[in-house]
Structure 1
Amino acid sequence: MNILYLCDEYPPGRHGGIGTSVRLLAQQMAKHGNKVVVAGLYGPGYGGADEFDDEGVKVFRFRRGYNFDFLGDETSLLSRIGMRLLNESGLMERDIKKSLAIYQIRLEEIIAEYNIDIVEMPDYNDYVRFCKSVVPFPKLSVPVMVKMHGTITYFKNEAKQAVPANVLQMEQVILNRATGISSASKYTADKSALYLSYNKHITVLYNGIDTNIPAKNIIKKAKQVIFTGTLLEKKGIYQLAKAWNIVNKSCPDAQLFILGKGPLQKVRAYLNAAAESSVIFKGHVATNELYSFLQESAISVFPSYAEAFALAPLEAMACGTAVINSNRTSGPELLGDETTGLLIDPDNVEQIASSIIYLLNNPDVCTSLAKNGYERVKERFEISKIAQENLAFYQKVLDGIAPI
Structure 2
Amino acid sequence: MNKSKKNLLVLSFHTCPLGKLGTESAGGMNVYVLQLSLALEKLGFSIDIFTIDHSECTEKITNITTNIKVIHLNTVQQNISKEDLYNHIETFKRQLINYINEHNIIYDIIHSHYWLSGIIGKDLSQVLGINNVVTFHTLAEIKNQIKGQQKESQIRLEKEQEIVKSTGTIIVSTNHELEVLTNRYQIDSSKVKIIPPGVDLSLFKPKNKMNSLKQIGMGKGPIIIYVGRIDPIKGLPVLIEAMKYLNPDKKPKLLVIGDNRIQNDATDQSFELIRRYKLEKHITFIGTIEQAQLPLYYNAASLCIIPSHYESFGLVALEAMACKTTVIGTKVPGLESIIQNQYNGVLVEVNSPQKLASAIEKLLTNVDLNIQIAENGYKKSKDMTWDSFALKTSQIYENLIN
**Map 1:166-245 → 2, pairs under 5 A:** 166-201=155-190, 202-213=192-203, 217-219=208-210, 223-245=222-244
Unmatched runs of 5 consecutive residues or more in structure 2: 1-5, 21-25, 213-219
- Partner residue, 2:331: 327
**Map 1:2-401 → 2, pairs under 5 A:** 2-8=7-13, 9-14=15-20, 15-40=26-51, 42=52, 45=55, 47-67=57-77, 69=78, 71=79, 95-107=88-100, 113=105, 115-125=106-116, 138-140=123-125, 141=128, 142-159=130-147, 162-201=151-190, 202-213=192-203, 217-219=208-210, 223-249=222-248, 251-252=250-251, 254-262=252-260, 263=262, 264-271=267-274, 272-379=276-383, 381-399=384-402
Q: TM-score, normalised by structure 2?
A: 0.83
What amino acid sits opposite 1:243 in the alignment?
A
Counterparts of 1:108 and 1:156, CA distance in 2: 40
Measured after TM superposition, the shift of residue 103 of structure 1 is 2.4
Q: TM-score, normalised by structure 1?
A: 0.82
What amino acid sits opposite 2:380 in the alignment?
R
What amino acid sits opposite 2:367 in the alignment?
P
Matched-pair contact (CA < 8 Å) for 2:198–2:385? yes
Deviations, residues 166-187 of structure 1 (Å, cap 9, x unaligned): 2222122222222211102221
Matched-pair contact (CA < 8 Å) for 2:115–2:156? no
What amino acid sits opposite 1:6 in the alignment?
L
Matched-pair contact (CA < 8 Å) for 2:197–2:389? yes
Bigger shift: residues 257-266 or 173-182: 257-266
Greater RCO, 1 or 2 (C-alpha within 8 Å, sep 6+):
2
Which secondary structure state, in structure 1, belongs to the residue aligned with residue 343 of structure 2? coil
Alignment coverage as a number of residue pairs: 371
Bigger shift: residues 230-239 or 166-175: 166-175
**Over aligned residue pairs, what C-alpha RMSD do you find?**
2.8
Deviations, residues 209-263 of structure 1 (Å, cap 9, x unaligned): 11112665442656211110111221111110100111253623x1111111145
Matched-pair contact (CA < 8 Å) for 1:96–1:127? no
Measured after TM superposition, the shift of residue 388 of structure 1 is 1.4
Counterparts of 2:162 and 2:297, CA distance in 1: 42
- Partner residue, 1:402: none
Matched-pair contact (CA < 8 Å) for 2:142–2:180? yes
Measured after TM superposition, the shift of residue 392 of structure 1 is 2.1
Counterparts of 2:179 and 2:118, CA distance in 1: 25
Matched-pair contact (CA < 8 Å) for 2:230–2:258? yes
Measured after TM superposition, the shift of residue 161 of structure 1 is 5.3
What amino acid sits opposite 1:13 in the alignment?
G
